[in-house]
Amino acid sequence: MLGYFITREILLELMNRKYAVITAFITPIIMFFDNIYHTVGILAMLDPCLAMFTLLGAYIYIKYPYAKSSSMIARTILFSLAGLVKFSGLFIIPADIIEGFLN
């Protein structure tokens, strides 16, 4: 469901609210029927945890403004947890730093 909320927040900026909500339902449907998603979840036990922390951080990154210190702390904690689970979770941190310099 985090994929739905992230997609909805992005699409609300681009299109009408009604179409954004309907179109955002495509994300969880694709994730539900994707065999690779389920196979990786079974075989690579750390990847679902990495995906959860990364998606939570991305949701806070998109939903709340960058200038608020509480959202910045929450993103830092979630991205750090993703990095602690697996090294590839740290690849989102440069995007967060660049966003901080641009705002």
Provide mean pLDDT across the span 35-55: 80
**How many residues in total does the chain contain?**
103
**Percentage of the chain modeled with pLDDT above 90:** 17
Show the DSSP H helices in the chain as ranges: 2-14, 17-24, 26-33, 35-43, 47-63, 69-85, 93-102
**Rg of the chain on CA atoms, in Å:** 15
Provide mean pLDDT across the span 64-76: 79
Residue scoring higher pLDDT (76 or 20):
20
pLDDT at residue 31 in the model? 83
pLDDT one-digit tens code per residue, 2-44 = 889 999 999 998 999 999 999 999 988 988 888 887 787 778 7
Give φ, ψ of 34 to 5 degrees.
Answer: -85, 115
pLDDT at residue 49 in the model? 83
Beta carbons of 3 and 31 less than 8 angstroms apart: yes
Alpha-carbon distances of 94 from 73, 76, 89, 91, rounded to whole Å: 15, 12, 11, 7
